[in-house]
Structure 1
Amino acid sequence: MDGRQDEVAGAMARLAEGDRDGAASVLRAALARAPDDPEILHGMACVARASGRADLAIGLAGRAIAILPAAHFHITLGCALHEQGHLEPARAALHVATLREPRDVRGHAALAAVLGAMGRGAEAEASLRAALALRPADAALLHGLAARLSGRGAHGEAEDLYRRVRDLCPEEGAAWANHGAVLFALNRHEEALAVLERADGLVPDVAETLNNLGLVRMALGHLPQAGVALARAARLAPEDARIAVNRATILAELGEDGVAERLLRGVLADPVAAGGAEGARAAFNLGTVLLARGDLAAGWRFFEARTRLLPEGRWPDIAPWDGVAPPRGRLLLHAEQGVGDALQFLRYLPYCLERARVVLELPPELQRLVGTTPDPDGLIASRCTVLRPGGSVPGDVVARCALLSLPHLLGMAEPPPFAPYLLPALSAGAGGGERRVGVCWAGNPAYRFDRRRSIPPEELAPLGEVAGVRFVSLQHGVAAGDPPFAMEAAASGDWLETARAIAGLDLVVTVDTAIAHLAGAMGRPVWLLNRFGGDWRWSAAFDRAERPCWGDAASRWYPSLDLFRQAGPDMPACAWRGPVAAVCAALSRWRDGRLAGD
């Protein structure tokens, strides 16, 4: 018996070294002498699996189990069944293995793989945790659990596991690359940049690493360097639609919209890519490129691809609207993205009401503000009902439409004529003789590319040196606690309170946030500090023909809005200096009543 065990052990050692033929020769000779020895049968099953014959392995492992139902025999059987695509029998075999020998890491790990293939993610995660409890420093297990956690959005816990893998395998570029990717998902951009650059240094020319490196650099505002990384990624993986879309995005940011358009149309020309998530991204990004260029009819059409990227799941039983006046019933008109988008596209509400009676759904914080909309024709009073927070959609609603879809569905290629469409009363105590300027310097930090849109408070500090002006903070969120200089705090509350505060100001200076749209919709003077290659709605295609009073351009969206643009794709440390200096100079002239040419 001991001799047979030695023979099997020797054969398994050969197999581990890659000598399948040698292992098979030893085991066949042993099997001829002892045809019913379960360990020899199991060894032959292992050789069969290693040789790509999972079908033979299933039979051999089954014969071994019939003689001796050992846990490791069940593991081999389960793995072979998995390789053959027999998931439920594989799960059953591996479940038996973990019951028979709960201390065998291999059983838990193999069971996790099968459960994952079956779509039973929570159970797969539990099996991986059981395996890690037995072998906490196993890099493969740590990676497997991290990938599963990251896949369901638990990036914080995944980051810790990926960091442990990186520390266990400090010379493996893939370990650094995975850690960098999850740091990017957590918006920890500086850390992600250092880690991904380390990954690229260890193993250069890996397309996935370069793709993530490009995205991180773009988020940090390192636009030319982002373009270099994504160009390298595209050369390595020219058929990768995801990389093509990402490269098109950075090219559009750099002002190379023609090349960006060709890349995006190339993705859409591939029937496989066009029908998937990358096709939807390509179509949406093409829409923004066309809108930024001023090709609005085509731009609005492609812009509709956003509904494939973020499908509306709140009302699955209500059909999307096609733009045709419904013969009966009402239309559910709803917000879909940020507050700024809702404020901008409420401009189209009267035109929608000419075709359909509307139930208007908005975020709770906009509910009171929308009540200040002028209604000279009585359309809003007679044809629009605001859905109260938590209220049920009325039974006579027959279709639904997002606010951002109105230009496309109404066939309005150009922005409609402007008149202020949000008119709150002046807040108590506002106004007075002193010139008052509201300031907003940061957007939502959860937005992946907020670093490029928002201004570090210290960069805006020169504004506070302009004498004779009383500054009022309009900043919302965490950034409100870190003002660039001493200023008065505006009234807190919902967006109606913010609007009332703006009504009492002489001017608003802001970055690209909802504050810009609110002040613009009210017809209040607003100066927008805009990043290079910024959002499509502030592109030159939407500039007014007439010379602006103060900034680089005036907007067709809001005639009272002047733009102060970054001149080029500078590094973040200096990108805002030019626009901030221009605002300071303009503010001094504005305070004294002098126009730009005076």
Structure 2
Amino acid sequence: MDGRRDRVAGAMRLLADGDRDGATSVLRAALAEAPDDPDILHGMACVARASGRPDLAIGLAGRAIAILPAAHFHITLGCALHEQGHLEPARAALHVATLREPRDARAHAALAAVLGEMGRWGEAEASLRAALGLRPADTALLLDWARAAIMGDGVGIGPRLEASARRFVAQDAGRLHGLAVLLSERGRHAEAEILYRLVRDRCPDQGAAWANHGAVLFALNRHEEALAALEQADRLAPDVPETLNNLGLVLMALGHLPRAGVALAAARRCAPDDARIVVNDATILTDMGEDAAAERLLRGVLADPVAARGAEGARAEFNLGTLLLARGAMAEGWRHLEARERLLPEMRWPALAPWDGSALPHGRLLLHAEQGLGDAIQFLRYLPYCLRRVGVVLDLPPALHRLARTMPDPEGLIASRCMVLSDEAPVPDDVVARCGLLSLPHLLGMAEVPPFVPYLLPPVPEGARVGAPRVGLCWAGNPAFRFDRRRSIPPQMLASLGDVGGVCFISLQHGAAAGDPPFAMEPAATGDWLDTARVVAGLDLVITVDTAMAHLAGAMGRPVWLLNRFGGDWRWSAVFDRAEAPRWGNGTSRWYPSLEQFRQDGPEVPACAWQAPIAALRAALECWRCVDR
């Protein structure tokens, strides 16, 4: 008996060393002497699996189990069944193995592999946790666990792998990269960053490792770190289109427009057929004021029938729309802007047909906000025109509900034909079509800026505008916006405004930036946007960067000074300036006649580009406080 066991053990060593023929010869000789020996049958099953014959292995392992139901026999049977695609029988066999020998990590790991293929990732993660408990130093098991945990939407994967960083070697980089990709695909960029960093540290001479780390740092808005990583990637592996593309986007986000243009132009030269890079290059050209070159690139993408149908075609058409709007070609611009629907998240109301702009013979229109609060405020001015054609159910962010109810209603259309949908309320049954607010100019055929009258009219607080002039200040937008650094202003750059005497400053800043004012002032308003509007109604002037605050003050008809970046949003372009010269700044707006702009005059980095407009605004503020209002 011991001799047979020794022969089986010797055969398994031969198999482990890659000598399948030697192992087969030994086992066949042993089997001829003892055809019902379960260990020999199991050894033959292992050889069959190694030879790519799981079908034979299933029969041999089954015979061995019939004689002796050992746990490791069930593991071999379960693995062979798995390889043949018989998932449920494989799961059952491996489950038996874990019950018979719960201290065998191989059984738990094999069971996890089957459960994962069945999509039962929570159970797979639990099985791998059990295996790791038995073999805590097994790096392969740890990486298997991480994959199962990610697929099962588990948390804390990145930190756990980071805590085990010393265990990983260069050979683990590929699997770590795969896990990072899985996390990135699920929007879990902070955890993905940890893994991309682990890969980079193990492959410091590989440009791709630095490039991937730089890309995820950019996704996290850690722009300076992203820039350093991508520059290193470019040094290690020059002329890689994806690296140059991301480098250009990071530089653009940081406000280094000329350098961004150089990087994106280089990326396009390296990959002239990559529509995504072409659109990005067109974007920086637009920001640099090179509209003709940008338009040629965008129309080139749209001329390609394959690219035009995809996501980059939608981006190209949308960007062309904003370029045309900035030029004043409003009818064509509005039409191309409709491409944004192909870029927005999946429609919440797929059963509702898009509205074509005509009167509805029955039922009402769902008119919904679709982008930022500023867009919603600006395009509410088109609501009365829409109500002349259809009844409306208005879907707005909850923060705007009470504010929207302050719209004047001289024709009674809002009161009689518009209902604001309450938060999370179902869409009424009589709604038969849908439309985004930004589609109204196109669908209503309005190719000019509508005549302006203030259309948000909250009550003026009692005792407002008495005493020293009251000036509201907003210096930052939403930091989650990838290019926020170009529109927001570091508060210390506005510190000199606090030296203007005879002015009472009130913070209009929302969000985390409110806690870091440029100088002492009355605290920010709390509550929804009606509460903010009530504060604005009591101010003599609003000073703001390009955020919803500019639209709020403008829609109320309150004086507002906009600090605007070079190559800014289409709606603030010079083509929309009023015929009258500005009184204080270097630009105006037909969208909001009470608004004046203090524009940057060149594509310098923000630290330099903001100096001139801030200095001009401060000088204007000194004069403004002395005049009658």
Q: TM-score range by the shorter chain?
A: 0.7 to 0.9
Determine whether 1:315 maps to 2:349. Answer: yes
Q: Distance in 1 between matches of 2:362 and 2:205?
A: 67
Matched residue, 2:532: 498
Greater Cα offset, 582-591 or 194-203: 194-203
Determine whether 1:168 maps to 2:202. Answer: yes
Q: Distance in 1 between matches of 2:535 and 2:281?
A: 42
What are the within-5 Å matches in structure 2 for residues 429-444 of structure 1?
Answer: 429-444=463-478
- Aligned amino acid, residue 445 of structure 1: P
Cα deviation, residue 452, structure 1: 0.8
Greater Cα offset, 224-233 or 413-422: 224-233
Matched residue, 1:428: 462
Cα deviation, residue 514, structure 1: 0.8
Matched residue, 2:235: 201
SS of equivalent residue, structure 1 residue 301: helix
Which residue, out of 560, 569, 574, partners 1:535?
569
Matched residue, 2:515: 481
Greater Cα offset, 484-493 or 333-342: 484-493
SS of equivalent residue, structure 2 residue 495: helix
Mapped contact 1:109–1:127 kept (Cα < 8 A): yes
Cα deviation, residue 489, structure 1: 2.5
Mapped contact 1:264–1:286 kept (Cα < 8 A): yes
Cα pair distance change 1:191/1:103, threshold 3 Å: farther
Cα deviation, residue 420, structure 1: 0.9
Matched residue, 1:394: 428
Cα deviation, residue 199, structure 1: 2.0
Matched residue, 2:367: 333
Cα deviation, residue 554, structure 1: 0.8
Total equivalences in the alignment: 557
Matched residue, 2:65: none
Mapped contact 1:111–1:127 kept (Cα < 8 A): no
Cα deviation, residue 355, structure 1: 0.5
Matched residue, 2:417: 383
Q: Distance in 2 between matches of 1:351 and 1:573?
A: 43
TM-score under structure 1 length normalisation: 0.84
Cα deviation, residue 66, structure 1: 4.2
Cα deviation, residue 29, structure 1: 9.4
Q: Distance in 2 between matches of 1:95 and 1:236?
A: 53
Determine whether 1:517 maps to 2:534. Answer: no
Cα pair distance change 1:256/1:32, threshold 3 Å: farther
- Aligned amino acid, residue 343 of structure 2: L
Q: Distance in 2 between matches of 1:321 and 1:132?
A: 55
SS of equivalent residue, structure 2 residue 427: coil
Cα deviation, residue 166, structure 1: 2.0
Determine whether 1:347 maps to 2:384. Answer: no
- Aligned amino acid, residue 523 of structure 1: G
Greater Cα offset, 256-265 or 413-422: 256-265
Matched residue, 1:48: none
- Aligned amino acid, residue 546 of structure 1: E
Cα pair distance change 1:569/1:132, threshold 3 Å: farther
Matched residue, 2:285: 251
Cα pair distance change 1:233/1:343, threshold 3 Å: same
Cα deviation, residue 172, structure 1: 2.4
Structure 1 gap ranges (5+): 13-25, 46-56, 82-87
- Aligned amino acid, residue 412 of structure 2: G
What are the within-5 Å matches in structure 2 for residues 4-403 of structure 1?
Answer: 12=18, 45=51, 57=52, 60-64=53-57, 66-67=59-60, 102-103=105-106, 115=117, 133-134=141-142, 137=168, 138-311=172-345, 313-403=347-437
SS of equivalent residue, structure 1 residue 375: coil
Q: Distance in 1 between matches of 2:350 and 2:93?
A: 42
Cα pair distance change 1:412/1:571, threshold 3 Å: same
Cα pair distance change 1:148/1:418, threshold 3 Å: same
Q: Distance in 1 between matches of 2:108 and 2:247?
A: 35
Q: Distance in 2 between matches of 1:127 and 1:544?
A: 69
Cα deviation, residue 567, structure 1: 0.9
Which residue, out of 610, 615, 627, partners 1:576?
610
TM-score under structure 2 length normalisation: 0.80
Q: Over residues 342-389 of structure 1, what are the superposed CA-to-partner deviations in whole Å (9 max), with x where a residue is unaligned? A: 110011011001111112222222122122211122222222222222
Mapped contact 2:200–2:209 kept (Cα < 8 A): yes
- Aligned amino acid, residue 512 of structure 2: V
Cα pair distance change 1:557/1:534, threshold 3 Å: same
Determine whether 1:560 maps to 2:578. Answer: no
SS of equivalent residue, structure 1 residue 547: coil
Cα pair distance change 1:236/1:549, threshold 3 Å: same
Percent identity of paired positions between Structure 1 and Structure 2:
66
Cα deviation, residue 478, structure 1: 0.9
Cα deviation, residue 559, structure 1: 0.9
SS of equivalent residue, structure 1 residue 204: coil
Cα deviation, residue 490, structure 1: 4.8
Which residue, out of 582, 588, 593, partners 2:627?
593
Matched residue, 2:153: none
SS of equivalent residue, structure 1 residue 331: strand
Greater Cα offset, 60-69 or 174-183: 60-69
Q: Distance in 1 between matches of 2:244 and 2:440?
A: 38
Matched residue, 1:51: none
Q: Distance in 2 between matches of 1:497 and 1:381?
A: 22
Cα deviation, residue 408, structure 1: 0.9
What RMSD, in angstroms, separates the aligned Cα atoms of the two structures?
A: 3.2
Between Structure 1 and Structure 2, whose CA radius of gyration is higher? Answer: 2
- Aligned amino acid, residue 299 of structure 1: G
SS of equivalent residue, structure 2 residue 353: coil
Cα pair distance change 1:177/1:591, threshold 3 Å: same
Cα deviation, residue 422, structure 1: 1.0
Cα pair distance change 1:569/1:170, threshold 3 Å: same
Q: Distance in 1 between matches of 2:364 and 2:128?
A: 51
- Aligned amino acid, residue 444 of structure 2: L
Cα deviation, residue 111, structure 1: 6.6
Cα pair distance change 1:134/1:352, threshold 3 Å: closer
- Aligned amino acid, residue 186 of structure 1: L
SS of equivalent residue, structure 1 residue 489: coil
Q: Over residues 298-349 of structure 1, what are the superposed CA-to-partner deviations in whole Å (9 max), with x where a residue is unaligned? A: 1111111111111453323222211111011111112112111111001101
Q: Distance in 1 between matches of 2:388 and 2:544?
A: 34
SS of equivalent residue, structure 1 residue 359: strand
Cα pair distance change 1:581/1:391, threshold 3 Å: same
Cα pair distance change 1:440/1:40, threshold 3 Å: same
Q: Distance in 1 between matches of 2:284 and 2:81?
A: 50
Cα deviation, residue 512, structure 1: 0.4
Cα deviation, residue 211, structure 1: 1.8
Mapped contact 1:128–1:144 kept (Cα < 8 A): no
Q: Over residues 192-217 of structure 1, what are the superposed CA-to-partner deviations in whole Å (9 max), with x where a residue is unaligned? A: 22222222222222222222222211
- Aligned amino acid, residue 373 of structure 1: M
Greater Cα offset, 132-141 or 337-346: 132-141
Mapped contact 1:75–1:110 kept (Cα < 8 A): no
Cα pair distance change 1:90/1:250, threshold 3 Å: farther
SS of equivalent residue, structure 2 residue 601: coil
Mapped contact 1:31–1:41 kept (Cα < 8 A): no
Cα pair distance change 1:104/1:271, threshold 3 Å: farther
Matched residue, 1:468: 502
Cα deviation, residue 93, structure 1: 6.7
Q: Distance in 2 between matches of 1:142 and 1:95?
A: 31
Q: Over residues 467-514 of structure 1, what are the superposed CA-to-partner deviations in whole Å (9 max), with x where a residue is unaligned? A: 222211111111111110111225422212211211221111100011
Cα pair distance change 1:493/1:106, threshold 3 Å: closer
Structure 2 gap ranges (5+): 1-6, 30-43, 62-72, 99-103, 133-138, 144-163
Q: Distance in 2 between matches of 1:248 and 1:183?
A: 23
